[in-house]
Structure 1
């Protein structure tokens, strides 16, 4: 879907409902209806939900109509939020006290439940100043033990609508907690869509993304987490504001130097809306707050489409920290973007090295793929 049309359908709940294939709101929808029909099998007493459960529905057929209100009620650990189909236009913070939380899209289709807002790093704040990259996030997850299924996390801020703003980072979700798992979720944005990070330089937060879809243009999967992306689809967007490549970068890890493991991408695929070879696979981010960072990225057994520049798939973010000095590697990738034409531009694992580049090694004693769904 074209980015502009996506933003427009997310901008209003009525347009979003039609574009997402949702039923039109019934007459008198503001009045809570009997029962919890929009929650499918998750509204049944026999549903396998652990801990305390709250139901969220923008049409008033649940316990709360917004994510914020539900979180205000769900203090402490172990809460499950079940979301009825709809668009939740708000910013959301799951703070460190709300551990072991689970969010579920009731329809079991991530396109039906959209949490979205439109702040960018350069957006002016009401009290002065700007939001910055972290403050631009639509959703921020600080708590450990978070799980999300069948939910779309989005930031629909567009450069074309704000030519006066130079801070164009616009985060859909920032994840900082350890043991954070996302299954069958979507992450929509442009620059800095998915911020897979940690709460501190010394905190090696483990995160797992399975069967997820992520789209964007510049550094749209970035941060210092130890994160595994398994069977994910990453899609680079077209850009009409640029006359020449590169249009952007898929990954920008900022792994702490003391952390032996950064991002692992396995059995996934990278596709593109843009012309061939207009995107780099990655560039290392060494932030000013941690100049000792050694970004780490391994991409294995993944299909790289023609949108990736096969000749020179990596680039520098800063010449002071060349990508060749970082921890980038590939193993048995396929597709036109994976063709090795200049061997020194494609660092590759040996078979022996690949034996330890697995989800088990990266995530240790935490095995989220055993939890089902």
Structure 2
């Protein structure tokens, strides 16, 4: 069997970059392209092209030097043990016919220097080829910078430049700053990546409300393109709900697209901060969401993994307002996350926007902000006991078991994992 890996050079990588051969036996080749660099981090892209017999599945392996770590990946499942990294195909790009190609990529963190791997193996075959050892000058230039030092001054201008039928990952890097605009991500395979040392340094913000735009139209950012990734940034709606006597919904982030991943992202607002529509599946990890009333809502499927959820209103309120369709098994999962709030015994875990709402808090830490005796409430004519509201092995001052707190059994819990929530019909597994 003969296999090969060739370079995927997208977005910022141009011709004439330095390349050197990797020492390996004949049979396949690999080219590794650094697509962007920033303080403490980098992005890289690879394309795998099979020149031998058809492959039903593949694994690409290499070794980093100490201090380099894959923190987010796309189009493959990444694992790392020490310096050894393995990229394994996911279902939608696992089979490679003779001559077929597939692109993968990742963001990484590093300390010290950032040399590239010297050799790769594909399904155990050591590959020869070239390695791009440094990015082009444009790779170190932010795609977006409000001060004019990037390619574009606004996030939307950078998204508009992506081809409508884009088929490869495009990483849009955003220089630290405040970008007051409305952002529409309507192209597939787009990554928005803040270049600050924290998510708080790169902020996309606006202040529309339901009064002028309707609830679903009040967003600061809407994602309708599939396979979107956001990392190291903030999306905010800074409309003040107390500015009108009746209060107003104001969405910060609306998710319509399938297979969204958010890593180290802050989503900030008051009422109705994060809308997850029926068409969306999303995986949110190491992130932060805050609001006042129903601030995570909708009929889609979303998993919060190792996230912080904060009820900021002193009088408390419901965190979720799920509207999961009856035919959909999975709605919202809070997994190994933390729920806190401004005051004690005031916050509820949720209420059913539609009768069959599905929400699970699993193995999470619930602080004293939770109203322990009655953590679920009704919404209009929808009775919380008729919804699919569940807990499993939560801890903290706000945790507990009583007649108002339905619990999963250990046997049932096997069917309520992050992987089960997100798998869908295509086997999507961004959890790694």
The TM tier, using the shorter chain, reads 0.7 to 0.9
Partner of 1:362: 421
Are 1:234 and 2:309 matched, yes or no? Answer: yes
Please, which of 72, 79, 82 is the counterpart of residue 170 of structure 2?
79
SS at match of 2:163: coil
1:238 deviates by 2.6
The answer as to 2:327 corresponding to 1:258 is yes
Give the structure 2 partner of residue 321 of structure 1. Answer: 382
* Match status 1:41 vs 2:37: yes
Given that residues 291 and 313 in structure 2 are in contact (C-alpha distance below 8 angstroms), is that contact kept between their aligned partners in structure 1? no
Which one has a larger percent strand, Structure 1 or Structure 2? 2
Return 5+ residue gaps in structure 1 as ranges. 1-38, 124-130, 240-244, 287-292
When the two chains are superposed, the root-mean-square deviation of aligned CA atoms in Å is 2.3
Structure with the higher helix share, 1 or 2: 1
| Cross-structure match for 1:347 | 406
In structure 2, the partner of 1:152 is 234
Equivalent-residue separation in structure 1 for 2:43 and 2:367 (angstroms): 40
What is the TM-score of this pair, normalised by structure 1? 0.76
User: Is 1:214–1:235's contact at 8 Å kept on the other side of the alignment?
Assistant: yes
Deviations 1:59-110 (A, max 9, x none): 1111001012112212322322100000000111112xx1111111112521
Matching residue of 2:195: 106
Stretch of structure 1 that moved more, 47-56 or 212-221: 47-56
- Is 1:188 the equivalent of 2:283? no
| 8 Å contact kept, 1:122–1:167 | no
Residue of structure 1 aligned with 2:156, choices 50, 58, 68? 68
Matched, 1:284 2:357: no
Corresponding residue number in structure 2 for 1:211: 286
1:265-303 CA-to-partner distances (Å, cap 9, x unmatched) read: 110010111x211111110112xxxxxx51001111101
Equivalent residues of 1:121, 1:167 under 8 A apart: no
* Off by >3 Å, runs of 4+ in structure 1: 49-54
1:271 aligns with 340
Change (3 A) 1:257 1:47: closer
Larger of the two Rg values belongs to structure: 2
Q: How far apart in 2 are the matches of 1:338 and 1:75?
A: 48
After superposition, the C-alpha distances for 1:335-357 in whole angstroms (9 at most, x for unaligned) are 111123xx220000000001111
Any conservation in 1 of the 2:241–2:270 contact (CA below 8 Å)?
A: no
Q: CA deviation at 1:40?
A: 7.9
Instruction: Normalising by structure 2, report the TM-score.
Output: 0.66
Secondary structure (helix, strand or coil) at the match of 1:336 reads coil
Contact 2:174 2:192 in 1 (8 A): yes
Distance in 1 of aligned mates of 2:405 and 2:197: 39
Alignment gaps of 5+ in structure 2:
1-34, 46-104, 107-137
